[in-house]
Amino acid sequence: MNIPTKNKTVRQSRAERSAGNGNAVCRRRKEEKMIKIAVLGYGTVGSGVVEVIEKNKELVNKKAGEELEVTYILDLLDFPDDPYGDRVVHDFDRILADDQVKIICETMGGVGKAYEFTAKALEAGKSVCTSNKELVAAHGPELIRLAHTHNCNYLFEASVGGGIPIIRPLNYSLTAERIQAITGILNGTTNYILSKMEYEGADYDTVLKEAQEKGYAERNPEADVEGYDACRKIAILSSLMTGKNVDYRKIYTEGITGVGPRDFEYAKKLDMSIKLLAVSKEAGEKTLAMVSPFLIDSAHPLHMVNGVFNAVFVRGNMLGDSMYYGRGAGKLPTASAVVSDVIDCARHIGKVIMCFWDQEEAELLDIDSVRRRFFFRVKSQALDTVREVFGNDILEVQLDGVPEECGIVTSVMSEADFAECHKKISDAAIGRRLRMEAVE
């Protein structure tokens, strides 16, 4: 047989031909055994997924028990200079039609096309692993059910806490527990901003600009700073905690805008810190779920979580407290979590991995009845009125060199009572009020 190469024609020997045929058979057999993977969306996380699978190939294959190969990368763009650019396709139907593709990584984000492709993949019996918290929060139980109907899986470890293992611990490890509370720092951008304000005394706008320049914060930071990102993540965790669907649109959410350096001066004086917490707690038959900036005591395990790090503090009725800490965002940490799901799917081809997240809606507690302490700032000349309205059981905090204002820590009161009292002194109030969280 003559094999034309670029510059010459080479005569292939019989042995070579036979070896070649053997190789072809081996290759075919290997391909038959191999699990093909498709990555949807070649952005930060998608390219990270390919990098993790390729860099840790031997280890990933060993742990999966099969050889995994990223065969397709779906994106609108071409990547001619990328080492995996030859795997880029633009037509999802090619992926869908390939029976050897058993696992799909959805790293596109959003709910439009991502939802359509995920549903089609699951209906075709292909498992889907995702980092897409918007889609999981909006359609989680429906997609899990769809997957199980078709003997495949919809896994979403990377959707909360980036590289921190938290979905798997809730699903597999803490199965003997009744989870009573989950409190998380679930957004790296806001934690970075708050930490900078705390330790460098910087103001909000300057830190946000710096975070955007460093690529920590999005150009449009609304989803992070207004708490929407943390809200979707706590909706996912609350759903796994209750086993019912917690609708993220019904979770009370406040962001960090309006928190200023002066608030941190008071926090320091109180031996506290300010963190954007995402909270989910058992409240009888209901669930309290909310996102808000909180003053937390230095004894709180989440007090030491700074910068872009995330942490999830879980209370079980048997284990007690446990905490999961690490990088909550970023290319490789998030991709690592997606690939851990890929390995899980590879180990369970044709089998369902149980996940207790029903479509039945969880009933959320109206936060008006929740009791806690509150902190607010007030002009000093209004202190007598403040004492009249809030009673004498308040703590007054005076900063050195700032006689014109005073910080007030209230006694334990309901959200509704606080709002009513605070309205009465609103003319004298400075800045925004903060909630106080304590570990009971």
In angstroms, give the least distance from the CB of 224 to ligand HSE.
5
SS (H, E, C) the chain: CEEECCCCEEECCHHHHHHHHHHHHHHHHHHHHCEEEEEECCCHHHHHHHHHHHHCHHHHHHHHCCCEEEEEEECCCCCCCCCCHHHEECCHHHHHHCCCEEEEEECCCCCHHHHHHHHHHHHCCCEEEECCHHHHHHHHHHHHHHHHHCCCCEECHHHCCCCCCCHHHHHHHCCCCCEEEEEEECCHHHHHHHHHHHHHCCCHHHHHHHHHHCCCCCCCCHHHHCCHHHHHHHHHHHHHHHCCECCHHHCEECCCCCCCHHHHHHHHHCCEEEEEEEEEEEECCEEEEEEEEEEEECCCCCCCCCCCEEEEEEEECCCEEEEEEEECCCHHHHHHHHHHHHHHHHHCCCCCCCCCCCCCECCECCHHHCEECEEEEEEHHHHHHHHHHHCCCCEEECCCCCCCEEEEECCCEEHHHHHHHHHHCHHHEEEEEEEEECCC
> The tokens of 184 are what?
């998380």
Q: Minimum distance between the CB of residue 140 and ligand HSE, rounded to whole angstroms? A: 16
With respect to ligand HSE, which residue has the nearer C-beta, 140 or 328? 328
| 148 Ramachandran zone, left/alpha/beta (phi>0; psi -120 to 50) | alpha
Nearer to ligand HSE, 190 or 242 (CB): 190
Kindly state the smallest distance separating residue 51's Cβ from ligand HSE, in Å: 18
d(CA 420, CA 125): 55
CB of 257 to ligand HSE, least distance (A): 15
Active site residue 120: no
Q: In the complex with ligand HSE, which residue's Cβ is closer, 246 or 425?
A: 246
Q: Return the number of the residue (125 or 165) whose C-beta is nearest ligand HSE.
A: 165
Shortest distance in whole angstroms from residue 197 CB to ligand HSE: 16
The minimum distance between CB 90 and ligand HSE, in angstroms, equals: 27
Q: Smallest gap, in angstroms, from Cβ of residue 303 to ligand HSE?
A: 19
Closer to ligand HSE at the Cβ: 309 or 418? 309
Q: Give the binding site for ligand HSE (CB under 6 A).
A: 162, 187-189, 224, 229, 328-329
Question: In the bound complex, what is the minimum distance in angstroms from residue 288's beta carbon to ligand HSE?
Answer: 23
Q: Do 384 and 428 form a contact (C-beta atoms < 8 A)?
A: no
End-to-end CA distance of the chain: 80
Cα separation, 140 vs 358, whole angstroms:
9
Nearer to ligand HSE, 229 or 415 (CB): 229
Of these residues, 102, 126, 233, 275, which one is catalytic? 233
Q: Which C-beta is closer to ligand HSE: that of 146 or that of 337?
A: 337
User: Residue 122 or residue 136: which is nearer to ligand HSE going by CB?
Assistant: 136
Active site (catalytic) residues: 233
